[in-house]
Amino acid sequence: MLLLLTHVFQLHPSTLLYSLPHQISVEGSDDPRCWTQGRRDLGQTTYLLTIDHDLCGSEVHNTSVTSFIIVQENLPILTHSTRRFLVKCNYIPETFTVRAG
């Protein structure tokens, strides 16, 4: 699930990695507010990741916003099982005129 606000994405990524320590993060950001870490003791598979476009380095274009999300099973290094996902939201800016009659 994805919620796009004017300055943030709110993602609810789901993973089957509850048995392994893992991290879901925004590629290229070292800020701890741009990642979430799974806890194997909770058995949790769904997380909340809020991506602030300015803070986490999202690419903001005229009609879209993009970020790359990294899912790591092995926290200190990137391995063959590391996955990278593109999150892209397109929007159409429009002007509406409402008249009461």
The pLDDT tens digits of the residues spanning 13-53 come to 777 655 566 788 999 998 999 988 876 677 777 788 889 99
Q: What is the mean pLDDT of the chain?
A: 78
Tell me which DSSP letter residue 34 carries.
G
> Residue 9 has which token pair?
């994405």
The confidence score (pLDDT) of residue 31 equals 93
Beta carbons of 50 and 8 less than 8 angstroms apart: yes
Q: Which of 4-18, 20-34, 81-95 bottoms out in mean pLDDT, i.e. has the lowest?
A: 4-18
Domains of the chain are 2-90 (2.60.40)
